[in-house]
């Protein structure tokens, strides 16, 4: 039966169709609302508004479910690899043996970036945040691959840009760190797996042979899987909306990196560690900070807590918390900040303020502690998130173009001045 919603406005009644997704989530299709009633909808922050239909990621915030292309995040984190998950997100199916090998070898063959990128990198001062450097370098790829600007390219050519994006991101990410610490850049090594190669470019020096620790490489690969997509969040929506103007993939991903940077989104992982350090330096007074977070006159929020969609638990946070304990134990690392994090979680989860608002630790709460244990510096945490999110952004950009989505252009309710006469400056 086709469901409909009936609305009445100024003695007129109209029916709006109800769209049902494959997991039975439902939406009112308002595409004819304005032409039939003159009304638009207003929904700040899109809290109730679907911007598209998508077959990439399923997320049920009430039940704490996250699936990529139908596969549970728990299964993928346990059994898959980041490149396999990348293939899955972008192409819709898990690859067979040959498909995965071809995909890996294509990526491996494109890890090098043009030498001229080095002079762009050299222009950045050492204080430049690596996220700012990364999005600039990704955007600069349009200059090296100008054909990527053509919105009417063949699928094969688009695929070439997709492969280059996945392949070159670790190189650009690691180089943005090398700029920060004023060390010589390290070139990719094509005999290494994706995550190991990234660690090599981050930590090797021309003078020292860096041995990749498999525990570190495996933990990183898992973290990248957990970050690989998250349906229509702030940065994915940015990528889709920029792509809807037929901007190139590089330009769209660069915009996504900028959107991710903010502390309410991917930047939260850096903010969490800074907050935990602050609490530690304040005699580990966790209760004081829980109190501050509840005080509406205080702008302080518990970073790494709360989520727009998850209202019971964040399944990624559950996996990360477990991984965090395992990695720290395997590496023999003790981090006093972990104890503060656990205490904070325990107190907050029992507090009525957090219970009433369904505020739980999110993916960023424990990921920073693992990154620290892996030797990743704090201001690279959000870059790590970006590295993981690349296949998701690509899949979202590709799907939007394949669905031939119209240019993204919301409406507004104007609340400014009505028409008034221009006044000569001498009379103002």
Ligand X SMILES: CC(C)(COP(=O)(O)OP(=O)(O)OC[C@H]1O[C@@H](n2cnc3c(N)ncnc32)[C@H](O)[C@@H]1OP(=O)(O)O)[C@@H](O)C(=O)NCCC(=O)NCCS
The contact set with ligand X (CB under 6 A) reads 45, 264, 268, 293, 301-308, 357, 359, 362-364
* 400/81 Cα distance (integer angstroms): 25
Question: Which of 153, 343 has the CB closer to ligand X?
Answer: 343
* 232/51 Cα distance (integer angstroms): 8
87, 231, 374 from 107: Cα distances, Å: 11, 24, 24
Residues 6+ apart with CB under 8 A from 162: 90, 249, 394, 398
| Least Cβ distance, residue 33 to ligand X (angstroms) | 25
Other CB atoms within a 10 A radius of the CB of residue 14 amount to 15
Other CB atoms within a 10 A radius of the CB of residue 337 amount to 18
Q: What are the start-end ranges of the E strands in 118-233? A: none
Helices (H), 282-335: 286-294, 315-331
* 53/223 Cα distance (integer angstroms): 27
| Least Cβ distance, residue 301 to ligand X (angstroms) | 4
Question: Which of 190, 358 has the CB closer to ligand X?
Answer: 358
Question: Which of 142, 382 has the CB closer to ligand X?
Answer: 382
CA dihedral 72, 75, 78, 84 (to 10 degrees): -80
Catalytic residues: 307, 364
Q: What single-letter DSSP state applies at residue 426?
A: G
* 162/167 Cα distance (integer angstroms): 9
| Least Cβ distance, residue 362 to ligand X (angstroms) | 4
* 204/197 Cα distance (integer angstroms): 10
| Least Cβ distance, residue 60 to ligand X (angstroms) | 16
- Report residue 48 as tokens: 């109730």
Closest CA to 201 of 179, 227, 221, 223: 179
* 68/62 Cα distance (integer angstroms): 17
């Amino acid at each position: 039966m086709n469901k409909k919603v009936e609305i009445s406005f100024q003695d007129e009644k109209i029916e709006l169709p109800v769209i049902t997704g494959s997991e039975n989530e439902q939406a009112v299709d308002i595409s004819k609302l304005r032409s039939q009633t003159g009304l638009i909808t207003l929904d700040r922050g899109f809290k109730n508004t679907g911007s598209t239909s998508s077959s990439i990621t399923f997320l049920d915030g009430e039940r704490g479910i996250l699936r990529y292309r139908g596969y549970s995040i728990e299964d993928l984190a346990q059994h898959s690899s980041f490149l396999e998950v990348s293939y899955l997100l972008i192409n819709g199916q898990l690859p067979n043996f040959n498909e995965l090998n071809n995909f890996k070898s294509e990526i491996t063959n494109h890890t090098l970036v043009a030498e001229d990128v080095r002079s762009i990198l050299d222009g950045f001062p050492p204080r430049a945040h690596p996220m700012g450097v990364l999005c600039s370098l990704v955007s600069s790829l349009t200059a090296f691959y100008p054909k990527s600007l053509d919105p009417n390219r063949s699928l094969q050519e688009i695929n070439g840009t997709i492969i280059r994006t996945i392949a070159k991101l670790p190189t650009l990410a690691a180089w943005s760190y090398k700029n920060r610490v004023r060390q010589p850049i390290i070139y990719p090594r094509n005999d290494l797996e994706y995550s190991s190669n990234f660690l090599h470019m981050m930590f090797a020096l021309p003078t020292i042979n860096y041995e990749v620790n498999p525990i570190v490489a495996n933990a990183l690969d898992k973290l990248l899987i957990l970050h690989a997509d998250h349906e229509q969040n702030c940065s994915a929506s940015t990528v889709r909306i920029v792509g809807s103007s037929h901007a190139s993939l590089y330009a769209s991903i660069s915009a996504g990196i900028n959107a991710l940077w903010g502390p309410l989104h991917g930047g939260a992982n850096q903010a969490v560690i800074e907050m935990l350090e602050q609490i530690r330096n304040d005699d580990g007074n966790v209760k004081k900070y829980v109190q501050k977070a509840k005080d509406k006159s205080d702008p302080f929020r518990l970073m790494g807590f709360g989520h727009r969609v998850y209202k019971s638990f964040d399944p990624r946070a559950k996996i990360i918390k477990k991984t965090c304990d395992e990695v720290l134990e395997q590496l023999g690392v003790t981090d006093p900040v972990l104890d503060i994090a656990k205490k904070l979680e325990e107190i907050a989860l029992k507090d009525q303020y957090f219970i009433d608002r369904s505020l739980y630790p999110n993916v960023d709460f424990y990921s920073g502690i693992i990154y620290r244990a892996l030797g990743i510096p704090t201001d690279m945490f959000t870059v790590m998130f970006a590295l993981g999110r690349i296949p998701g952004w690509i899949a979202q950009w590709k799907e939007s173009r394949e669905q031939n989505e119209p240019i993204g252009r919301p409406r507004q309710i104007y609340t400014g001045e009505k028409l008034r006469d221009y006044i000569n400056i001498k009379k103002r």
